C-alpha cells in the first residue's frame, strides 16, 4: 500500500515538473493527478486549498531544490567568476537535456500566475530571495562588501534569468553563454 506521504510527495514532484514546463494555467487538475499516479480526490485530500496550494508548495519545493544545487555549485568553486560559470553551465545543460522545456523552475509560474495568486506570488518571491541570498553570501564570502554583494547578486540573478528566458525561447543556449561571458568578466573586475 502506498503511504499518504508518498502520494503527496509524488503529486508535489509532478506538479513542480508540469508547472515548470507548461505553466500554471496550462496544467489541469486531471493531468496533475494522472501524471502523479493519484486518484482525483486525493488532490483535495492532500491539498485542501486545491491547485493554488499545490502550485505554491511545488514552487517552494522547486526553489529549495534549485537553491541547494546553487549552494553546492558555488561552495565548490575556487572563485566567484568560476562559480557563476559553473552555475550557468548547469542551467544550460538542464535546458538542452530537456529539449528546452525546463528553464527556470520559478519563471514560468511567476509570469503565468503570480499576479493573480498571492500564495503563488509569495512562493516565487521566497524562491528568488533565497537564490539572491545564496549568491550575495557567496560574493560577500569572497571579499565584497555586503552592500555591493547584494547589488551584484541582483545583477547576476536578473541577467541569468534573462539569459534562460531568451535561450528557452530561441531553443539555443547562445544567449545564456553570452550572459555567462559577460558575468565572468564583470566578476573578475569586481574581485581584481
List the chain pLDDT tens, one digit each, 192 residues.
445 558 899 999 999 999 999 999 999 888 988 888 888 788 889 999 999 999 999 999 999 999 999 999 999 999 999 999 999 999 999 999 999 999 999 999 999 998 999 999 999 999 999 999 999 999 999 999 999 999 999 999 999 999 999 999 999 999 999 999 999 999 999 998
3-state secondary structure 1-61: CCCHHHHHHHHHHHHHHHHHHHCCCCCCHHHHHHHCCCCCCHHHHHCCCHHHHHHHHHHHH
* Residue 142: Cβ within 10 Å count: 18
Residue 116 to residue 118: CA distance in whole angstroms: 7
Cell numbers given for 12: 508535489
Residue carrying the nine cell digits 506570488: 121
Residue carrying the nine cell digits 493519484: 38
Cα–Cα nearest to 111, from 23, 191, 32: 23
Residue 144 to residue 130: CA distance in whole angstroms: 19
Q: Using a cut of 0.75, tell me whether the model's pTM lies above it.
A: yes
Residue 113 to residue 186: CA distance in whole angstroms: 33
Residues 6+ apart with CB under 8 A from 99: none
Amino acid at each position: 500500500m502506498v503511504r499518504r506521504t508518498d502520494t503527496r510527495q509524488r503529486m508535489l514532484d509532478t506538479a513542480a515538473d508540469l508547472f515548470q514546463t507548461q505553466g500554471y494555467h496550462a496544467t489541469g487538475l486531471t493531468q496533475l493527478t494522472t501524471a502523479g499516479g493519484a486518484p482525483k480526490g486525493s488532490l483535495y485530500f492532500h491539498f485542501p486549498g486545491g491547485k493554488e496550494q499545490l502550485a505554491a508548495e511545488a514552487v517552494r519545493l522547486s526553489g529549495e531544490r534549485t537553491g541547494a544545487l546553487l549552494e553546492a555549485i558555488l561552495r565548490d568553486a575556487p572563485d566567484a567568476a568560476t562559480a557563476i560559470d559553473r552555475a550557468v553551465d548547469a542551467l544550460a545543460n538542464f535546458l538542452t537535456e530537456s529539449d528546452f522545456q525546463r528553464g527556470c523552475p520559478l519563471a514560468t509560474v511567476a509570469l503565468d500566475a503570480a499576479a493573480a495568486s498571492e500564495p503563488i506570488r509569495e512562493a516565487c518571491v521566497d524562491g528568488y530571495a533565497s537564490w539572491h541570498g545564496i549568491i550575495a553570501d557567496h560574493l560577500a564570502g569572497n571579499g565584497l562588501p555586503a552592500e555591493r554583494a547584494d547589488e551584484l547578486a541582483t545583477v547576476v540573478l536578473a541577467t541569468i534569468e534573462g539569459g534562460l528566458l531568451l535561450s528557452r525561447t530561441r531553443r539555443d543556449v547562445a544567449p545564456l553563454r553570452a550572459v555567462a561571458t559577460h558575468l565572468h568578466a564583470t566578476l573578475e573586475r569586481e574581485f581584481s
